[in-house]
Structures are given as structure tokens and as C-alpha cells.
Amino acid sequence: FAAIAPAYCLDLVARSLTIFSSSFFCRLKLLVSISPLCLPPGLTEWTSWFNIDHPGGNGDYERLEAIRFYYRERVCARPTAMEARTTDWVAAADTGEIVHSSLEKGFWCINKEQPHGRICSNYHVRFQCPPVQSYWTDWSEWGPCSTTVCNDVGVQVRQRKCVSAQPMPLLFVPACIGHHAERRECSTPPCTGQSTEMTRLQYFVKCSLTVYLQIKKKKHLLMLCIILFTAKESPACNSSPEMHLVRLPMDCVQPGTHSKYYNAGRCPHNKCPGSLDFDMRCRDGAGFCCGVQEMESRIIDCGTYKLPIRAVIQCSCQKCVQPTLLVRGRVVAADNDEPLRFGHIYIGKDRVGTTGYQGGFTLQITPDTQRLVVNFVDPTQTFIDTPKVFIFDKKGGSIYHNVKVMRKQTPVDINSSETNFIDLGEIKGEDPIGQLVIPPNSFHKDNGEVYEGTVKASVTFIDPRNITTAAATPGDLNFVDEEGDMLPLRTYGMFSVDFRDETSKEVLGAGAVQVLLDTQHVKMQEHIPKMKLWSLNPDTGVWEEESDFSYSTTTAGGHGRSKREERTFLIGNMEIRERRLFNLDVPENRRCYVKVRAYMSDKFLPTEQLEGVVISLINLEPKPGYSSNPRAWGRFDSVLTGPNGACLPAFCDAMRPDAYTAYVTAMLGGEELEAAPSSPKMNPNIIGVSQPYLDKLDYQRSDHEDPALKKTAFRINLAKPNQNNLDETNGPIYPYQNLLSCENAPFDANHFRFFRVEKDKYEYNVVPFEENDLTTWTGDYLSWWPNPQEFRACFIKVKIHGQKEVMVRSRNLGGTHPETRGKLYGIRDIRSTRDMREANTSAACLEFKCSGMLFDQAEVDRSLISVIPQGNCRKIGINGLLQEYLIKHPPVAQNNESHAFTMLAPVDPLGHNYGIYTVTDQNPRVAKEIAIGRCFDGTSDGFSREMKSDFGVALTFSCPERKINRESLFQRLQTNPGQTLSQMARDMREMEGLQGQRSSTQVVAFPAEQRGRTQSRRASSANRRRASMRAQQRQ
């Protein structure tokens, strides 16, 4: 080995470890593994074969970028050679085809370049790589001149690095020949006065590299870098806070203004500009964002009481709050909501989790995730593998997804040596949309061996004629075109195939399979020549083209037909080589955007818009003139609302308003929101769309024709706006090229509306915080949530005896911490919920400020909590275990008032036996939702939305309804108008005689039920007057 060892290897070893001879050291390393520094020149190894594309479409593209995208760890950074062969093992040079290759780009063959109308062969490639992947990176740009003084001389430096993809032995560095840095002389311009021309450095000082996006194209990988330039006159972080209105309690009315809101200020969560690196490249700010630098305490005059608040007075660049990005949900069957129990969850090739017993899952997402593709795999093979493209909130909100999966069709036995026909269609009484035709001897094993015998074949078809299957759509029905743009598809059906050996259950592949599509189901004739067969890439969630379709006419008997008739089919060819979902789709270019906003209530106030709401739109099959019967769906999209609502992509038509229709829903954390009503009469001010465009869109809420139906969706015609008609240029539907107009539309522009149906509930924080945007968290002693990475929600269950529901309030003060003692954290109001099983009983799950460490993590504060029912209430019971715990953990708060309850909140996470419910999660909404569900159920591990007032109660109050002692005049006029009017006449006559006879008493005829009370009151009044007159006479 010493004879072939390179000289530089011997030299490096001698310099590093002089106690060994260089030849002995290399021999020693050879016994374990060849030393990366002692390899002979030219020693390389070949990778495995790669075949990521097929010659359908424009050709066969085995691009190096795309291979790295799928097999990143298998290809070296700089291959030294490449070999290409067909799948029949013919070398590329021997095929007679025109091909292209490059060690930087890979290998490709273009169909239109081939002679005599031939198409390219199906190629696979491999690369030759050195075992030691040591190489220099590209030179950096020249750094700035070391001097900034005019008319001076300095030095510029540029650098490069020696990189190795393999771990190096101790005392060694990667072996690259050459220097890692270069220097050159530089000079500054002469001193000729102040120049007004902005230098190159000034241009780049304020830039911030904000977006790095990777788009997987069919042919290659496209990387985009968007750089944001900020003018020096408009800094990214303005020191003056922007307006932020905080809603005050209902009983807080500011004198002179009568406003229910207060401007507490807010800092925009902008990234701060990056600094220049030594190589003059623009870099992001090192985790710094525009945040709160200074706050001040203010007192709001509410008339009858004072309310403290912490307001922002100055902003500056602070360390960014890194919120935890969560995606939650539940996976259930599309037909009966059976949960996918213990299903495997994959992101790419990595298994990242398992669904729970009820199908629930929670995924934590890295902040740099641009597109989230999650694949749900059922290990029991009851459901088909379902890739889903999830939207998520980059501000840290927890988004809830209700995932529907299709149940696998029961396998049927087919003979591999015969031609087999499998129908594609799930609607009983209707013709199938198409067929799979499998020629004889087409099945093969993974090793390529032809399979002979019985095949267990399961083909599951997602039929667009069944609207309930729309939510089970895998992927997001998009493809990437030749320019790298993500474009939509309109589906005519999807199918998943599963072929297995009858005995060993081994998965089988199938070659030369034909797909037949019956053209009678393609109602838009212009779609027929555009129809293609697609397959879903489970890693990217993008549909990739498999093949085109060709025409064929045949005679066949339809479903229920007594005669045979001539029918036209579209025929496509495919090869089933892996478990993929296939799709019959056409690209659709008639596209629009639909503007939707979500609100906290049906008041539809601009300050009460909700962010993080998942708006979903199902494109329905066109109506008569284009349509089929029954109606079918063609596309399913979901978008997350931001501060200015959401714009949903949809198909639309300019010629016929009813050509396309849409079905729209909204969901927030698993809760369905209500749509604006359309009956008994459409009100443009409520729906949010002005006339006459509203009539053209034919807006109808889901309960429009049947009030018993749910109110959580609406249907509209997708009429493309006429730009020559002013009534249609202000939303809510925008042409596809006007996306920015849709996203930036003012609040008063036309839009559709959803609102949250919520019982009386109010939350007030002294330090304002938006739970749907974790970046608004501020570190302050009075922050309700002291830790932005861990949110602890605490609730107490309060039982109410009374005929009506009661508002219950918690006032939360600092208790034991010296910085917060006696200071308000916040207020929570909630109306009690009726127990449907017990009369005159309700209960409330009331949030309170948890005890524990404050934001500085230095000292525990036991919050001082007051629970106060609003009304004629008195305390009649306290949970014995809770009372015992409070006594054993002093200090004990004074509890002298009968209408309220006061305690120093427990530090321990007590359970339902105490009537206290505590949940900790990385998202405040999730923590509160789980705690409320447990509180309603009265258990520490259950969940319910039905109030169970007899279980897990901490406090009990009696709130009887106050009785009215005497009816008012208005009430008497309603109950007995004749008698009341007669009484009023008698009273007027008696008033005339009362001037001289004040001592006499009169009998007034009141209703019988009040006569006794009235006479006793009048008698006592007369007695008091007589006693007064006698006293005067004695004097």
C-alpha cells in the first residue's frame, strides 16, 4: 500500500503523528477502513441505478437536481462520471436516439428530437463518485474594502471552504489542494465632495432574504430566492406602535366616548433587516424581529370602576419569538367516520407519528416548512394510503384538520393468465366512469419475475359523482407546468390499486395496463382532448403526468341496457410499479378567486375578524348546458384566513353564471362556523355582497330550503366578473390574474361571511395577547401566559341552581409575587350552560390565571382568584377536597362574602376530584379546548360538549330568580286592560277630593292576587299619617 499511497498522504501523516512512519499508519488504517487521506488517485465507486421519469409527455428526464430531491443521501455532490442505459439494458449510445447528458444537469431525451416520430426509451442512470467527497466550495464574492476613507488603499478578501460529506478521523481535516483565502488590493474613490449617488453597499444594507422556495418540477428542480429591499426612509421596525384596539368588558363604558375599545398599541411582527457578511452577500437578521421595547401602565376609567392595562409605547428590533407550529386533527373513514386507529404518519420517507385510538394526531412543524405533505398509512390495510397537503399557520396557531380516508374495496380473485376487466365507478344504478384492462401475464414481482397464479385485486375508486367523497381527496389537485408554475386540475375520478399474491400477500406490480374512460361522463367536450392520466407523488403531494389518452370506439352494453350500443372511450396506458394513486384529470384555465372573511360574531365588525380559520371550497359539476345528473364535484381547496380574510381558488365561467357552482365551509379548531343567512330574505348588508351581483351569484345558505339543516355552509354560482360592469369589479369574485386585488381588498369591498356562534363569553388581558398569533406575546410580569413555548390553561367548574343561565366572572390578581401582588392579570366572563338532564341546573367552566413561575422564571406567584356570579346568587357549597387542599397550602385567602368565592390558585395540577382542570400544551387554544372538554365531562381524561353538572364540581351557587312584588302599569294593561282603565278613572276622581280629605283612605280595586298586599300597604300608610298628626297636636 505504501507504494501506491500519494505523497501528500505520507506528508500529512508524518506531520500529524511523527511517532508512526507514514507507511505503517496507512497499513494500520487499511485494516479498519481505508483512510480518506490515503486513497490512491482514481479510486471511485458507482451509485445504484435511478429511474425517476418515464418517456411519456415530452420525453425522459433524469435530471440530477430531481434525483437529489428524492435520493439526497445517495448521490455525491460532484460525480466524476455517469452511465445511462435503457430498462432493457441497452447502452444509450447503442439506441440510435438523440440524447443529452451533463455531470451538472444529468441525462435527458426529448421526444420531438427523435427521428421518424419515435419516442424516447425509458432510461435509468447511475453516477460514479469518489468515496471521499472532499472538494472546494465556490469562491465567495470579494468582501468590502478594509478602508472606508476616501482616496485610500485597503485589502479585499474572498474565501472558500474544503467540504467533506464523510466524518473525518481525529487530527485530520478534509484534503483539498490549494488555499482557502485570496486577497487583493482595493482603493476608495478620490475625495471630491459629498456624493449623492447611492453606493452598492448602501443598496444592500437594508435587504433581507425572506423567502427560499423549492418547487419540484417534473423535469427539474426549480429554486427561487425572493429578496426584499427596504428603503432607508421606511425602516422595517418603526419605533411608534401601530393601532391595536382591545375590546373592553361589557360593563366598562368610558365617560365621554361611550367606546367599547381601547387603543393599546402593537408592534408589527416584521423581520429586521439582515447585515452583510464578509462576502457581500445579503443575510437574514439573526433571529431579530420588530417587538416591544417599552410598555407603560395606564388606567381606563369605566365609570363605576377603574381597569388597568399595559400599553405599548415604543418598538424596536428584539429577539424573535419562535412559536411552535402545530397541525392537529382526526383521521376517520369517509363513509361512517370510523377512526383510523394507530395509523402510521409519514412526512416524506420518515415516519413521524401514529394516530390515536380515536384517530387523533398532532404534528409539530419546523419553522422553515414551506409545503406540508403528510401521508396516512393504515397498517391493517382497511383504508387506502392517503397523502394530504396541509395548510398551517406560520404564526404558531394550531390548525385542526378533519381528515377523511377512503375504505379499501374488498379484494376480488382474478387469474393472472387471463385478460381482466375492473370497473371504475361507485354509484349504484349508474354506469361506471371507466375500466381497467389488464392483459394476461402482466403481473410481476418486485424482482421482475412474472407472477403466475391467483391475484387478490382491490381497486378503490373515488367517484366525483358522490359529493361526500370530496373531503377524501388526496393531495391538492395541482400539477407543476413546464414553467414551474403550480396549476390546478379538474378531476373525473381517482383510483388506488392494490394487487397481492394470494398466498404470501406480497405486493405485485402490473405492466401494460390500459385505462378506459367513457366519454359520456365528460360533459364539457373541450375537456376530452386535454384529458390525461396522472399519478400522485406521495412525497411532494403533486400530481405527475403518466400518459395521454387516445380515442377508441367500441360496442358495449351499458348498465341496465337491453341493447348494445356504440360508445366512445379514451384509452390511456400505465404501468403499476408502486403504490400510487392515479387520477383522470384535465388542466382547467377558467379560474377565479372567492373572497371570504370570518368573524367573532354576527355583528361582522372589522375589528372582530378571525385569523387561522380553515375555509374550504368544493367546486361542483356544471349545471345544465354543461352538467351531469346527479351533480358531481371536480375540485377541493382549503385556505387559511389571515388579517384580511382569505382568497380561495375556484373554477368560474364568464358566459353562464351557473356554469360552475361552489360549496363553501369554515372551521376553527374543529368547530364549524355559521354562514350569513339567506332566508327568509337575502340581506346584502348581512351577506356582505351588494346587489345586483348578489342575485347573479344566487347565494344560498345550507338551510335555505330546509330550516332543520345545518347552517354551516353556503352555495354560490361562480360567475366570472365582467370588468366592464362596475357592479362586478368590487368582489367577492376576482379574476385569476387579480389575486393581489383580492388579497388586499378593503373591508368594505364585497365578500362572503362566516361567524362564530358562541355563548356569552369575554376575555380581557391587562397585557394584550392574541391567541391565534403567538408572535404577539410580550414578556411582562402581568402576562396571562408567562411562557410562549408552553401554555398552561386552568379552569374551575361552577354549578348554578336556578331557572336561568348566569354569567360568571373571574377576577385574577397577583397573589404572592412582589412584582404582581394586588395587580390585575385579567378578567374572564362565561355564561353557564344548561344541564339537559336536570331541571333548573346549569354549570360554567370558568378560566382562571394559573399559579406558577412568571416570565422571568425566578419566583412562583400564587394568583388571587375571585369567582363572582353576576346576579342574585349566594354560595352554598365548596368541594371538600379543594377546601382541604387550600387549607393545607397556605396562605389562605379570606372568604367572608357569601356571593363570591376567593382563593389563592393551587400550584399543583389538580384533577376533577377537586373541580379544577389543568392542561399544558404548546398552543393556548389547544390547551383551553382540551381543558373545557374535560370540565364539561367532569373527568380528568374524558371529553364532552354536553354539560354534566353533577360531576367534577368545585363550587355551587344558588341563584334564584327575583320575584316582582307589584306589577307595573304596563303589565296591568296587558293582563286586564278594562279593569285597569276603570281604576285609572277612579283614581283621577279621587285625586280631586284628596285636596281636602288627606286623612281619609280610599279602597282601590286591584287584581285579586295583589289585593291583600295593596290594602295592607295602604292601611299601614294611613296609620303612619295619623301618628304624625297626633304628634303635631301634642306639640
- And the C-alpha cell for 16? 500529524
- DSSP assignment of 374-434 equals EEEE-TTSSB--EEEEE---TTSPEEEEEEEEPBPPPPEEEETTS-EEEEE---TTS--SE
- And the C-alpha cell for 786? 408567562
Which phi and psi (to 5°) does residue 865 adopt?
-110, 130
Determine the Cα–Cα distance for residues 1033 and 1035; give it in Å rounded to an integer.
5
CB neighbours of residue 386 within 10 Å: 26
Determine the Cα–Cα distance for residues 635 and 220; give it in Å rounded to an integer.
27
* Closest alpha carbon to 903 in 942, 862, 931: 862
* Closest alpha carbon to 135 in 176, 103, 80, 181: 176
Give CA 471 to chain center in angstroms: 16
**What is each CA distance from 903 to 765, 801, 813, 872, 932, in whole angstroms?**
20, 22, 11, 21, 21
Q: Which one-letter DSSP state was computed for residue 136?
A: E
Q: Scan for cell 415530452, then name that residue.
A: 58
Mapped onto helix, strand or coil, the DSSP state of residue 928 is helix
Q: What is the pLDDT of residues 461-491, one digit of tens each?
A: 887 777 677 777 776 777 776 666 677 777 7
- And the C-alpha cell for 54? 418515464
Report the pLDDT value the prediction gives residue 223, as an integer from 0 to 100.
40
Which phi and psi (to 5°) does residue 555 adopt?
-105, 125
Domains and CATH numbers, the chain: 45-131 (no CATH), 235-319 (2.10.90), 326-405 (2.60.40.1120), 412-557+565-587 (2.60.220), 591-755 (no CATH), 779-958 (no CATH), 970-1034 (no CATH)
Are the C-beta atoms of 630 and 431 separated by less than 8 Å? no
Report the pLDDT value the prediction gives residue 225, as an integer from 0 to 100.
44
Report the pLDDT value the prediction gives residue 54, as an integer from 0 to 100.
77
Report the pLDDT value the prediction gives residue 459, as an integer from 0 to 100.
84
Residue 1018, C-beta contacts closer than 8 angstroms, at least 6 positions apart: 1001, 1002, 1003, 1004
- And the C-alpha cell for 577? 410499479
Report the pLDDT value the prediction gives residue 497, as an integer from 0 to 100.
83
Are the C-beta atoms of 622 and 465 separated by less than 8 Å? no
Amino acid at 732: P
Are the C-beta atoms of 87 and 124 separated by less than 8 Å? yes
Given a cut of 70, the residues of the chain with pLDDT beneath it are: 1-44, 131-134, 164-175, 177, 192-235, 274-286, 393-398, 467, 475, 481-485, 519-530, 549-590, 621-636, 669-670, 758-759, 962-970, 990-1035
Mapped onto helix, strand or coil, the DSSP state of residue 987 is helix
What's the helix, strand, coil split of the chain in %, to 5? 15, 35, 50
Cis omega (within 30 of 0) for bond into 339: no
Mapped onto helix, strand or coil, the DSSP state of residue 682 is coil
Q: What is the pLDDT of residues 977-1014, one digit of tens each?
A: 777 788 777 777 766 654 444 444 444 443 444 444 44
Rg (CA), the chain: 38
Burial 290-309 (b: 16+ CB within 10 A, else e): bbbbebeeeebeeeeeebeb
